[in-house]
Structure 1
């Protein structure tokens, strides 16, 4: 079958109330723009006659047994016959009769063209208050921060893309976080991404939407964090290590006062805890980055490649063992000091400083040794 220029793809789960008008608008656009294309419905198990409605309107329907927004779209992209795909929800919130800007950018060579509802206009009541002023802005800001993408509307459901470019991304999620995965993976591999204004209308359904604010918001946030070991593990780890090392190093020599507030052994214990947690975070970042590259979740990075090459099993094990031995030495020193006093009363504050730093060194050393062996185990290749 010859390749078409455009597939207009709609995921569908019981959209009988609005599907006919969405298909009609999409067909009208294809006729008006004189495009060789198709309307494709990825049906996710509808029980309300949606499939028959779509076929009656001239759309092609595929059945997607696996439930989930992402599962439906993945199947739809795989089945699309168009060189380009424009996807959008089948609830009549997006205008399929006005896809000109998407197609223009795709023809110009962009790989992914995102709609921007904040630039195009949001009808009153079309987007819940929390989504419009809290969820979407915060998640979009995190997406720009974590992945350096310029997009202002990270989660717009109306978007167009080159079918082949997106198919090569090997997208894997099956739920609402699929929208984030597409943008993140496209950004990471350097696809050409642009943004065009699009409108959002109040959907025409009488039932509640499939989207669940807190559940799906958490799924998007979780995905962004999992795909950024730097922000999830490395940066917090470095911050905790720096703060813990500085504070415990100062307090090891005695209490200090800042602005009338005293800091002593209890603060030092907190600083030691920060140091331990921070080291753990950095270890997790190293292992997570290596694992993500091996699983083709993140593209290779020259900078992180050099770091991963340096962080060998021997580096972790021998470095950790040395720190562990230093900690044991400090603990023995504390016991000797106690023994010199016939295991009687001591300057408790002074002794606790040595014990705190020594036990921290023992814990950090053990962490590094275990992390080294875990990284070594995960680096074993299989054919």
Structure 2
């Protein structure tokens, strides 16, 4: 069995997947969750040795949860499939969980170039991080698109959101359950291709609305 399963929600990431999958550390298995790609992403992932899971219901949370459900390793990590993260950095996120030092580790993004993190997405993240820090009583600088925790406790949290609020609900429910949550810096690079969410002001606004709804419902 693999030590860690890495869930990669995917919607038309054919150009990025070869780079992403090649950067996985030894002992880490990629679970690419195809969320309706039309560019051959699933075929590329399968050819590269990843496990491919298909989720027909559109939404970040739907894809991520399908990957979590399909995972078999004791620890599950999550990251974007657009090459904005270097997956060789995953041990810095996973190892504190594996050692029992923390229950959930989040990667806070450190932009490597000015264009890596659009201004509207950065401002939205800062706003939401402050709100979730207050609600969860955990000081956070980022919402943790790269994160790791143990699989069974994650499933036991009972995350319900299937849109952009999924990561936020995960942190809120984990904090309410008394989890030890920490952050570590990870490099953040310009993504390959066009973002479906934070690449546009409209997409960012939708994500904020989703997460604000989750804050009202869960906190």
Class of the TM-score when normalised by the shorter of the 2 chains: over 0.9
Which residue is equivalent to 2:20? 22
> Which structure 1 residue ranges, 5 or more long, are not aligned?
229-383
Q: 1:209 aligns with which of 190, 196, 218?
A: 196
Q: 8 Å contact 2:82–2:191 — kept in the other structure?
A: yes
CA–CA distance in 2 between the matches of 1:208 and 1:113? 24
Which residue is equivalent to 1:151? 140
CA–CA distance in 2 between the matches of 1:185 and 1:152? 18
Q: 8 Å contact 2:135–2:172 — kept in the other structure?
A: no
Which residue is equivalent to 2:51? 60
Offset of 1:163 from its aligned partner? 0.7
Which residue is equivalent to 1:195? 183
Q: 8 Å contact 2:32–2:52 — kept in the other structure?
A: yes
- Counterparts in 2 of 1:198 and 1:57: CA distance versus 1, 3 Å: same
Which residue is equivalent to 2:113? 123
CA–CA distance in 1 between the matches of 2:140 and 2:172? 11
Q: 1:173 aligns with which of 153, 161, 165?
A: 161
CA–CA distance in 2 between the matches of 1:213 and 1:176? 10
Which residue is equivalent to 2:103? 111
Q: 8 Å contact 1:14–1:50 — kept in the other structure?
A: yes
Q: 2:89 aligns with which of 76, 98, 102?
A: 98
Q: Where does 1:185-334 land on structure 2 (aligned, <5 Å)?
A: 185-205=173-193, 207-211=194-198, 212-228=203-219
Q: TM-score, normalised by structure 2?
A: 0.93
Instruction: Tell me how many residue pairs correspond in the alignment.
Output: 214
Structure in which a larger fraction of residues adopt strand: 2
SS in 2 for 1:11: strand
CA–CA distance in 2 between the matches of 1:4 and 1:57? 16
CA–CA distance in 1 between the matches of 2:207 and 2:72? 30
CA–CA distance in 1 between the matches of 2:32 and 2:67? 7
Q: TM-score, normalised by structure 1?
A: 0.54
Higher RCO (CA 8 Å, separation ≥ 6 residues): 2
Offset of 1:121 from its aligned partner? 4.0
Which residue is equivalent to 1:11? 9
Q: 8 Å contact 2:136–2:171 — kept in the other structure?
A: no
The structure with the larger Rg is: 1
Q: 8 Å contact 1:111–1:165 — kept in the other structure?
A: no
> Which structure 2 residue ranges, 5 or more long, are not aligned?
none
Tell me which stretches of 4 or more aligned residues in structure 1 moved more than 6 Å: none
Structure in which a larger fraction of residues adopt helix: 1
Offset of 1:8 from its aligned partner? 1.4
Which string of whole-angstrom CA distances, capped at 9 and with x for unpartnered residues, describes residues 101-122 of structure 1?
11221122122110011xx444
